[in-house]
Amino acid sequence: QSALTQPASASGSPGQSITISCTGSSSDIGGYDYVSWYQQHPGKAPKLMIYDVNNRPSGVSNRFSGSKSGNTASLTISGLQAEDEADYYCSSYTSSRTLVFGGGTKLTVL
């Protein structure tokens, strides 16, 4: 199972919106509404930000939103803040009954 494809890096200024893409195939993202997004700060464990494409767990800011079109999922962060600077990973359930992560996107807040 190949990793999902994410851009290696992204950047934006405080207050701006940014979208990170995650591309897979019909065997994972395209076949299921089971995409999650995680935020990871250096040296810390990942944090669940979005699950099942567009749902936020309790306590996650509504500045974070998710969507999906075909084989590509997206995470949008609106009103960028300095604390949003982190690595972001997507994941998807697959037809092989496994889970696959994206390679990660390093977000820089300028």
Partner 1 sequence: EVQLLESGGGLVQPGGSLRLSCVASGFTFSSYAMSWVRQAPGKGLEWVSTMIGSGGNTYYADSVKGRFTISRDTSKNTLYLQMNSLRAEDTAVYYCAKELFNSGWRRFDYWGQGTLVTVSS
Residues that bind partner 1 (CB under 8 A): 1, 3, 34, 36, 38, 40, 45-48, 51-52, 57, 89, 91, 93, 97-104
Which of 6/74 has CB closer to partner 1? 6
Query: Is the CB of residue 50 less than 8 Å from the CB of residue 37?
Result: yes
C-beta of 30: minimal distance to partner 1 in Å? Answer: 15
The least distance separating partner 1 from the CB of residue 45, rounded to whole angstroms, comes to 4
Which residues face 12 on adjacent strands?
A: 109
| Among candidate residues 30, 49, 9, 6, the one with its CA nearest the CA of residue 92 | 30
Gap between the Cα atoms of 90 and 104, Å rounded: 7
- When the beta carbons of 84 and 104 are compared against partner 1, the nearer one is 104
